[in-house]
Amino acid sequence: MSDKHPPQHSSEALLEPYEGFSPRVSGKLLSHFFSCYVTLPCEIIDNSLGYLTVHTCDRVPVKVSLLKVQTKPMSRFVDILSKYCSDDGGLLVATRITNLGEEFDLKTAEHVIDLIHREPWATEIFNVHAQHDLAMMNDLEVISD
């Protein structure tokens, strides 16, 4: 692979500035959004040395890198805008953290996420797959170069 195209599926891949659509996801849905930006409502379990360990709304543990984020988490519950970058266990690289406070109903968040990702709403209303489809097309272009 040339220097022009950094690895797309590793934590070393460059993070481009992103202000587009980032669907809310649960832990069980995360693997469907590899190489995409997502928003993850979660509870902080451990905060140490540039990484968070969080539980997603469906209680899946996830490791999150804080190397690219300006705002540090200051509450028990947070919304994390991040890119799912690693094929070796699910590392997310956070680009923005929104503090949600000390009390937040993750069970309700899980129900809302399940509804958003249910067809036909996922495709026809919320368009949760648009970013993933674009990433797949970009990967195909890199392969053909």
Q: What is the pLDDT of residue 11?
A: 39
Whether residue 9 lies inside any domain: the answer is: no
Q: Which segments in the chain show pLDDT lower than 70?
A: 1-19, 87-90, 129-139, 142, 144-145
- Residue 138 structural domain: 30-144
Whether residue 17 lies inside any domain: the answer is: no
- Is the bond preceding residue 41 a cis peptide, omega within 30 degrees? no
What is the CATH number for 127?
2.40.50.140
Q: What is the pLDDT of residue 80?
A: 94
What CA–CA distances, in Å, run from 125 to 27, 32, 71, 122? 22, 18, 31, 6
User: What is the count of structural domains for the chain?
Assistant: 1
Whether residue 78 lies inside any domain: the answer is: yes
Whether residue 86 lies inside any domain: the answer is: yes
Task: Please say whether the dihedral angle defined by the alpha carbons of residues 80, 68, 21 and 27, taken in this order, is positive or negative.
Answer: negative
Q: What is the pLDDT of residue 45?
A: 96
Q: What is the pLDDT of residue 18?
A: 65
Whether residue 10 lies inside any domain: the answer is: no
pTM: 0.75
Beta strands in the chain (DSSP E): 37-48, 51-56, 61-65, 77-84, 92-101
Task: Please say whether the dihedral angle defined by the alpha carbons of residues 40, 44, 45 and 47, taken in this order, is positive or negative.
Answer: positive
Q: What is the pLDDT of residue 15?
A: 56
Whether residue 4 lies inside any domain: the answer is: no
